[in-house]
Amino acid sequence: MPKTGPRRLIVVLGDQLSTDLSSLQAGDRERDVVLMCEVAEEATYVDHHKQKLVFVFSAMRHFADELRQEGWEVDYVGLTDSGNTGSFAGEVKRAAHRYEPDQIIVTEPGEWRVLKDVEGWEKSTGRPVKTLQDRRFLCSRAEFAEWSDGRREMRMEHFYRVMRRRTGLLMDGDHPEGGRWNFDEENRKPADRSLFMPEPPRFRPDATTREVMAMIEHLFGDNFGDLQGFGWAVTRKEAERARDHFIDNVLPGFGDNQDAMLLGEDFLYHSLLSPYLNTGLLNPLDLCRRAEERWREEKAPLNAVEGFIRQIIGWREYVRGIYWLMMPDYAASNHLDAKRDLPWFYWSGETDMACIAEVVSQTRRNAYAHHIQRLMITGNFALLAGVEPRQVHEWYLAVYADAFEWVELPNTIGMSQFADGGILGSKPYASSGAYIDRMSDYCGKCRYDVKKRVEEEACPFNALYWDFIARNESKLGNNRRLAFAYRNWARMDPATKKALRTRARSFLNQLS
Ligand code: FAD
Ligand code: DLZ
Ligand code: SF4
């Protein structure tokens, strides 16, 4: 027997697919109604990879079913349903007319753009809107602001220790397990073909996913990305299977092989869990506790488990904190005054640089590349070439299944492009071909020679690296972490300097 009394409208957004979401916890399934809507505004703010669109919409549809099974009334508006206004504001207004709720409840959105939208709902519907904290994150926006307040500089490593103490993860009383907070020195081994590579589980599209695939192919057929081979989990159960596979088979090798890159090996020792964490199919703290348990059972080494947990309670929470602290101005940051257009090969993959061609083609196939590929291949190249950070940001926001602005933007603008001038991290991640050669087997299959610097056949990363160092000297010359590079540049003879810069210029001039 449904309860009578005031009815509330609970709006659940596409990255809030968690049954323990604060808005759902605040609701009453016997009385309130849940609104979920696919809207054109979200589907088009960048030209998303087709797999990302299918993943989000299929996961949303499956989540609506999950809520219905739990007894909720869910009003689900599909992208092509008649009357769909194409925006959150429009759909919330229409739903307010349908249900005449006495209150609208929503968990705070992950992104600035959507928060601005939510802030207009009270006026557009004439109903009070209650916005609740997103408790899936371990550090609230207010707590991060408090932590950062008065600090001369923010650093992830300091923040991470606070999060370790707060969660108790890998702690022995007040001390870190193993006597150190960070075991990175033992990680980051180069690629090794002889390693056994665990294959990640892929999930066969069910009828719902196939329906979404047909819709996306029809509406967004020209967007970047292949749909055949779509294998992302779209239900909580599937995401949990992916999680268990990672914990059982991949986690033990995570630390050692975190930075390795091998031709034809798209996933190596990574979890591929970011799309599920970012949409709420998996809970970050639960995942970390399961990883910790593996170490306590002596089934995974401390360097692997600590490295994995750091990415989640450290980096993931830290970049979110920076995003909310710095938005909206952060999106326009361009400390190095980079102006070049994003080269077309970021979309086509058509370049003789084997490393970039490999990462772009993998990205097209899977809507995935691992961290070092994003940071040290495509990110590094854009940084060295001086591509405008906004264009780099829009590319990353479009092409990865896990790309939501709160996490993508600080990683791109801050970590990868140093466009924030050092707010997020202390140095630009710039490197010559030598690093790529050490961590991958890409160079062996490349038309360019990684050992050469100035010749026509020389690896472009080499001259571009020195050109980057030289042209940004006024802004980076005092950076302690680049002292070695600037000392080497200062020692170089003028003819070599000139040849490097000429080679960089001629390479950049032929980019389109
Ligand atoms: P794993 O290597 O298995 O790591 C485990 C988890 O740790 C990830 O699932 C993720 O939740 C978290 N994590 C690891 N590194 C980071 C990080 N730097 N910031 C935040 N969380 C982290 N991550 C996104 O989730 N969405 C993005 O849009 C995104 N854009 C990026 C753009 C650039 C330029 C760079 C350099 C990094 C970006 N990252 C982004 C961070 C990182 O590359 C991805 O989280 C990771 O590659 C996801 O793959 P995985 O799940 O296999 O990660
Ligand atoms: C990424 C995305 C896309 C493509 N489409 C929708 C949508 O139509 N409806 C929706 O609720 N969410 C979508 N999302 C995820 C949102 O972008 C994300 O939930 C909000 O931006 C929250 O910050
Ligand atoms: Fe990339 Fe240079 Fe190696 Fe070619 S030689 S794969 S361009 S780093």
Q: pLDDT of 154-183, one tens digit each?
A: 999 999 999 999 999 999 999 999 999 998
pLDDT, mean over the chain? 95
Best probe residue, ligand 3, of 351, 355, 451, 462 (max atoms within 8 Å of C-beta): 355
What pLDDT digit, counting tens, does each position of 204-232 carry?
A: 999 999 999 999 999 999 999 999 999 99
Instruction: Quickly state the pLDDT bin for 187 (edges 50, 70, 90).
Output: low
Report the separation in Å between the CA atom of 444 and the middle of ligand 3, taken as the mean of its atom positions: 8
The pLDDT value given to residue 226: 96
For residue 339, give the 3-state DSSP assignment.
coil
The Å distance, Cα 411 to ligand 1 centre, comes to 8
pLDDT given at position 270: 87
Output the pLDDT for position 4. Answer: 59
CA of 371 to the centre of ligand 1 (A): 6
Residue 1 has pLDDT above 70, yes or no: no
- Ligand sitting nearest the alpha carbon of 263: 3
The alpha carbon of 75 and the centre of ligand 2 are apart by a number of angstroms equal to: 16
| Environment class of 144 (CB within 10 Å of its CB; exposed 0-12, middle 13-18, buried 19+) | buried
Q: Please give the full DSSP string across 123-139, using - where no structure is assigned.
A: HHHSS-EEEE--TTSSS
* Cβ atoms 416, 392 nearer than 8 A: yes
Q: Is the pLDDT of residue 83 over 60?
A: yes
pLDDT reported for residue 184:
81
- pLDDT more than 70, % of the chain: 97
Separation CA 412–CA 415 (nearest Å) = 6
Asked if pLDDT for residue 432 goes beyond 80, the answer is yes
What the chain holds in terms of domains, given with CATH numbers, is 8-132 (3.40.50.620), 141-202+236-326 (1.25.40.80), 345-509 (1.10.579.10)
Question: Which residue's CA is the closest to the ligand 2 atom numbered 13?
Answer: 14
pLDDT at res. 146: 95
Nearest CA residue ID for atom 4, ligand 2: 43
Tokens of 258: 């975190």
pLDDT for the residue 194: 65
Portion of the chain with pLDDT greater than 90, in percent = 89
The finding on whether 139 has its CB within 6 A of some atom of ligand 2 is no
Point out the least confidently predicted range of 19-33, 183-197, 298-312: 183-197
- Beta strand 171-172 with 129-132 is unpaired
* DSSP-derived pairing of the beta strands 171-172 and 175-176: antiparallel
Ligand 2 pocket check for 393: Cβ under 6 Å: no
* pTM for this entry: 0.97
Rounded CA separation 5/2 (Å): 10
Per the model's pLDDT, the better-predicted residue between 189 and 445 turns out to be 445
Tell me if 265 CB under 6 Å of ligand 2: no
Q: Does residue 258 carry a pLDDT above 80?
A: no
pLDDT of residue 3 exceeding 60, the answer is: no
Among residues 197, 279, 304, 287, which one has the least CA distance to residue 240?
Answer: 287
461 has pLDDT over 60? yes
Does residue 6 carry a pLDDT above 80? no
Convert the pLDDT of each residue in 238-252 to its tens digit: 999 999 999 999 999
Assign 264 a pLDDT band (cuts: 50, 70, 90): confident
Candidates 416, 431, 309; CA nearest to 371 is: 416
Q: Kind and range of the H or E element at 188?
A: none
User: Is the minimum distance from the CB of 389 to ligand 2 under 6 angstroms?
Assistant: no
User: What is the rounded average pLDDT of the residues 399-410?
Assistant: 98
Atom of ligand 1 nearest to the CA of 271: 3
pLDDT of 5 above 70: no
**CA distance linking residue 76 with residue 95, whole number of Å:** 10
